[in-house]
Amino acid sequence: MKLKSLILGSVAAAGLSTAGFAADLGVLTSLDVCDALGISGLTISSADNCLAISGKVSYEFNWGDYNANWLVPAAGPGLVVTNAGNRNVIDNGVSTAAPAQEGSWAIRDAGGVLAGTLNQTTAPTQAEIDAVAPGGTAVQVIAPVPAVVGGLDNDWGSKVESWLKFVGTASSDFGPASATIKIKNVDQWTVTNEQPAVAGGDHTGGNIVIDEAFVSVGDTTTIMAGKKGSIANKDDDEPFNWLGLFQSDAVDKGVNWVKDAPKTGGHVIQIVSSLGNGVTVKGGLEDLNGRGTAVGVIEYAGEGITAHVTGAAGDILDGTVNNWGIHAGFTGTFDAFKVRAAGAFGSTAAGSNYYNVLGSAQATFDMFTIALSGEASGGTGLNSQVGVGGSVGATVTEGVKINLGARWFDENTAAVNTETYQIAAQLVAAVTETISLTGEVGVYGTNKVAPAATDFYGKAELAWKPGGSFESSVGAEVHQNGAYKVTFKASKEFK
């Protein structure tokens, strides 16, 4: 009996040990799926697939007296830049009468081409329109500053943005095969002069939306299809100088063709192939849920140089190309020097052509960094516009940096008194390893007919990065024109 018990016990122990070892092998197999595919981060594995999960939550709150009048470019291909020189100046809008602003009304001729502007707060009569363009029409470009009613002048805004991204990948005979799903929600509300809150520009209506949903397969050559962003390369176009340039800011830093003409992204079929030696080519059909756009890209990266040319032709599904765009950029790094050149060109259905070019250079000498930039834009029926900017940065001690900068912009080179400038100084100091303090003082100025020729301002921000991909900051901004704003931000990303 003792021998029998010993044998049975040994068999049972061996069985348990084997089961445990098998379980360990299962764990090792699961880990190997992601490792074999080169996928790291937050992952879940099965026998064949590796699921990578990433996401982010961010919050921003603003309060003050600032939201009455942000001078921004008008929408539409005929007015790519309007009053771009003042677009970053916040105004508290305290006035009982709405002051006129240059370019308040855009006058288009019978063919829809921009013919000129009228500077007045009331709608122009047909006779006034005909004096600029016979038989034309008027479109209000910049609304008058709203009057403050009954002392109600506080503004505030709150924005919560969140997204989750899931990428499931498995190996195939053609390379990694994956499916990507990204869900997103933006809950944004804005209050102006203590009136009822309205949904902000990025608000998704309280709904969780499918921001991306596409499949892809391949390694050096990858095929993608579904709902995703564009393959168009619009990099290598940001100015090096600290303040940037006015027109560059108006098109989200850099140069661009007329917005959404042609339209990219959306429902797509795309192919990307690496040819070796730093050369990559891309081609695809985009905006297939709209009128369709064909996109082609060739790009190079290597030996201190990055460069690309992107071309897009819009409205292809009806057999007639009604708009097109080209974006090209070059950046070269040569020891302590950097140079950059970029250009965007396009044409709309109205037959108007548009160009936007930029050049920038930067040099670093020990503790100093010097940068100069220039830009120009114009086209059919549009004002010719130019801008320049420069900056000097110095690292005075470890963790302390000073920036001095200026930029200037002429909204119409054919007219007088259409220039705007900004001059500013900035101090960035690392208080601790996780806390930094940024302070800035400066002035906006213009020689245009305006309620105020200059606007001095000051702002400061205290940022905290304790680690774990968590970031938070609190800042304040005060302007000579009476506007002020306090901002709180916090975010956490995981992947």
pLDDT digits (tens, 9 = 90+) for 214-273: 999 999 999 999 999 999 999 999 999 999 999 998 888 999 988 788 999 999 999 999
pLDDT of residue 171: 95
| Of 135, 142, 145, the residue nearest 105 (C-alpha) | 142
pLDDT of residue 389: 98
From 100, 115, 140, the end of a domain falls on: 140
From 121, 140, 159, the end of a domain falls on: 140
130-144, 299-313, 415-429: range with lowest mean pLDDT: 130-144
Mean pLDDT, range 485-492, rounded to an integer: 98
| Residues 495, 403 within the same domain | yes
User: Side chain identity at 391, as an amino acid letter?
Assistant: S
User: Side chain identity at 447, as an amino acid letter?
Assistant: N
| Residues 25, 92 within the same domain | no
- Residue holding tokens 């890209």? 297
492 domain residue, yes or no = yes
Which percentage of the chain shows pLDDT scores above 90?
59
pLDDT of residue 450: 57
| Residues 35, 118 within the same domain | no
Q: In sequence order, what are the beta bridge partners of 342?
A: 329, 358
106 domain residue, yes or no = yes
- Residue holding tokens 């005075």? 396
| Residues 402, 450 within the same domain | yes
Number of domains in the chain: 3
| Of 474, 438, 437, 481, the residue nearest 457 (C-alpha) | 481
Q: Given pLDDT bands bounded at 50, 70 and 90, which one contains residue 20?
A: very low
pLDDT of residue 121: 64
HEC secondary structure over the chain? CHHHHHHHHHHHHHHHHHHHHHHHHHHHHHHHHHHHHCCCCCEEECCCCEEEEEEEEEEEEEEEECECCCCCCCCCCCCCCCCHHHCCCCECCCCCCCCCCCCCEEEECCCCCEEEEECCCCCCCHHHHHHHCCCCEEEECCCCCCCCCCCCCCEEEEEEEEEEEEEEEECCCCCCEEEEEEEEEEEEEEECCCCCCEECCCCCCCCCEEEEEEEEEECCEEEEEEEECCCCCCCCCCCCCCCCCHHHHHCCCCCCCCCCCCCCCEEEEEEEEEEECCEEEEEEEECCCCCCEEEEEEEEEECCEEEEEEEEEECCCCCCCCEEEEEEEEEEEECCEEEEEEEEEEECCCCCEEEEEEEEEEEEECCEEEEEEEEEEEECCEEEEEEEEEEEEEEEECCEEEEEEEEEEECCCCCCCCEEEEEEEEEEEECCCCEEEEEEEEEEEECCCCCCCEEEEEEEEEEEEEECCEEEEEEEEEECCCCEEEEEEEEEEEC
Mean pLDDT, range 168-183, rounded to an integer: 97
Question: What is the domain range of residue 32?
Answer: 2-44
pLDDT of residue 136: 78
pLDDT of residue 111: 56
Q: Which tens digit of pLDDT belongs to each residue from 94-134?
A: 443 333 344 467 776 665 556 667 766 678 888 778 777 77
pLDDT of residue 66: 83
351 domain residue, yes or no = no
User: For residue 161, which phi and psi values (nearest 5 degrees)?
Assistant: -125, 130
Alpha carbon distance 372, 390 (integer Å): 4
Which percentage of the chain shows pLDDT scores above 70?
80
238 domain residue, yes or no = no
Mean pLDDT, range 290-311, rounded to an integer: 97
| Residues 430, 495 within the same domain | yes
pLDDT of residue 251: 86
CA atoms within 13 A on the CB side of 157: 22
pLDDT of residue 68: 58
280 domain residue, yes or no = no
Chain-centroid distance of CA 472 in Å reads 20
Peptide bond connecting 451 to the previous residue in cis, omega within 30 degrees of 0: no
| Residues 421, 482 within the same domain | yes
Q: Which tens digit of pLDDT belongs to each residue from 339-367?
A: 999 999 999 877 788 899 999 999 999 89
| Residues 438, 491 within the same domain | yes
| Residues 405, 492 within the same domain | yes
Q: What is the pTM of this model?
A: 0.79
From 140, 161, 184, the end of a domain falls on: 140
| Residues 20, 107 within the same domain | no
451 domain residue, yes or no = yes
59 domain residue, yes or no = no
| Residues 25, 100 within the same domain | no
| Residues 487, 405 within the same domain | yes
pLDDT of residue 201: 76
192 domain residue, yes or no = no
| Residues 30, 95 within the same domain | no
User: Side chain identity at 144, as an amino acid letter?
Assistant: P
Chain-centroid distance of CA 225 in Å reads 24
pLDDT of residue 99: 36
pLDDT of residue 83: 34
pLDDT of residue 161: 96
